[in-house]
Amino acid sequence: MKIQQDDTAADWALRAVPQEYDAYPPILRFSVPRAREDSDDLHPDRLGLCAYLVFGPYTSGALELPEGISPALARAIETDAAPVPVRPAPVSYEAAKLPLGGPSVSVLRDAPAGPAGGFGAGASNAHLMGGDGPRRMELMLAAALLGVRGAAADEFVLDASSLRLEERAAAEQRLRRLAEPARLGIELTY
């Protein structure tokens, strides 16, 4: 799967171009409206994580990302995708500075706009990807990562009230394993 940045004046977006052996996702363009006029770029690891959360389930083989990610995130993606062989690229061995001391962002499941210090995942087109339970949590996090890019958030608090009791621990562990290389904290509220 080849992932490209496809930003416009109205939104930030990722576009998927399926390759041989990839499945076709329900939508090929994942977008979030621009909330601010800032032009801060999203850290490559956070952009890569966002792309994987959205299009990873449809990927088999190469996952070509818009920017080079750290070896730690590449390893986390490969481990998470197993037994499907997913090879993220490019991998950058040059350290890219991650922001320190950013805010915590509350991500609301269906809200079109979040409160102060929050993000409404309902503002994105994530609902077109389908999915319930843990998959919905992944898409909420991806929408928030793309949507608050200029805020350099260090922690995302996700509304997980729709998860069944038996899904909660596994979903939280998985998101934390994937987010750790991008220096993101994940907290689920029930």
Q: What CA–CA distance (Å, rounded) separates 64 from 88?
A: 6
Q: Which of these ranges, 80-84, 99-103, 142-146, has the smallest mean pLDDT?
A: 99-103
pLDDT at 111: 45
Q: Token pair of 71, please?
A: 């070896």
16 forms beta bridges with: 3
Query: Rounded CA gap, 55 and 73, in Å?
Result: 16
- Give the integer Cα–Cα distance in Å for 115 and 120: 8
Window from 42-51, 109-118, 178-187 with minimum mean pLDDT: 109-118
CA atoms within 13 A on the CB side of 83: 0
C-alpha triplet 102, 144, 58: angle, nearest 5°: 130
Burial class (CB in 10 A: 0-12, 13-18, 19+), 64: middle
What is the residue extent of each domain of the chain?
2-189
More confidently predicted of 132 and 119: 132
What number is the average pLDDT over the span 172-178? 94
Q: What is the pLDDT of residues 123-151, one digit of tens each?
A: 678 878 877 889 988 988 888 888 776 55
Mean residue pLDDT across the chain: 84
pLDDT digit string, tens, across residues 1-12: 999 999 887 888
